[in-house]
Amino acid sequence: MLKKVGVLLAALISLTPAAAAQILSHSQIALGATYNFSKESDGTSDAQTVSQKPTKVIGYLGTYRYAFGGHSSFELNYEFFKNTQNYLLTDSTGFQTAFGINSTVHEATAAYVYGMRKGARLSPFVLGGAGIMIFIPTGNSLNSTGIGSETQNKVALLYGVGTDFRLTAGFALRFQYRGLLYKAPDFSLPTYSTGAYGHVAEPGVSLVYNF
């Protein structure tokens, strides 16, 4: 048994360099920044109208992309940003109450990327995928965290379009637009639930390294 295990391990080790070289020769990593702005989400809760509008912020995006065909790639993304979810509550008499919840947002997504015909410098692409957005409350407009808000995980649908602009054989600039559709968070506070879907637009630029 030990002899068989030893033979199997030796075979795996002998294949590792070739497999690693194959993966690396089709890989990219990219680091960049995005400008994130979200649409307003509107709904009703407890006989009042709720309008939710997140603030516009800068996000930080990291991507690993692996090409497995002439036009096809698979990518994994992680993005981090902080924003404030602003809520405006209007009751039946027209009286309004404004409230904001500060949050840290983590995005983890996976996507299929289709690369269109490459030019001398430009490599345009479209992408589609899904993932998760994690909304973590960090405070509110009353400078208190004791209002019962909770972390929420929301499934997100991802789509995007962009192009890589080649700088050298190993480096490129990536200009892209990403959009994510998700259920608007209420941090487990029913009073602030719109019951609607939110959408965040993320145009951005990244430095890409091919290896």
**Buried residues in 172-190 as b, exposed as e (16+ CB within 10 A):** bebbbebebbbbbbbbebe
1 assigned to some structural domain: no
Position 47 scores a pLDDT of 81
Question: Residue 84: which CATH number?
Answer: 2.40.160.20
23 assigned to some structural domain: no
39 assigned to some structural domain: yes
* Tens-binned pLDDT, residue by residue, of the chain (211 aa): 556 545 655 654 565 554 444 444 689 999 999 999 999 999 988 789 999 999 999 999 999 999 998 899 999 999 999 999 999 999 988 899 898 999 999 999 999 999 988 788 999 999 999 999 999 999 887 655 547 789 999 999 999 999 999 999 899 999 999 999 999 999 999 888 999 999 999 999 999 999 8
Position 119 scores a pLDDT of 80
- Residue 114 domain boundaries: 28-210
CA 83 to CA 105: how far, in whole Å? 8
Task: Give how many domains the chain has, as a whole number.
Answer: 1
